[in-house]
Amino acid sequence: MNATDWLGFVGVALILLAYFLNEIGKISNKNIAFILLNLIGSTLACLASVLINYWPFIILEAAWALVSAVSLYKYYKPSKL
């Protein structure tokens, strides 16, 4: 396996870990760990897809990273009183 394979493998593993932990009730989808696992995982998977120039997964993982980034923003955004 080369570095690109490892980037993709680690990225997908982080996304799957977030999903698994959510499914077994260990973390909620509003939990910072869930958000960060998805954000970091999708960013790594997107980077690996860019390196191999595979557009379907570039689009998928970029969208996943964007949704995760929005969730992170909402997590830290001060609530209105």
Q: What residues contact residue 48 under an 8 Å CB cut-off, 6+ apart?
A: 4, 5, 7, 8, 11
> Could you give phi then psi for residue 64, rounded to 5 degrees?
-60, -45
As a whole number, mean pLDDT of residues 28-37 equals 97
* pLDDT over 90 at 79, yes or no: no
Q: In this predicted model, what pLDDT tens digit does every residue of 42-62 receive, in sequence order? A: 999 999 999 999 999 999 999
Alpha carbon 15 to its chain centroid, in Å, reads 5
pTM for this model (two decimals): 0.92
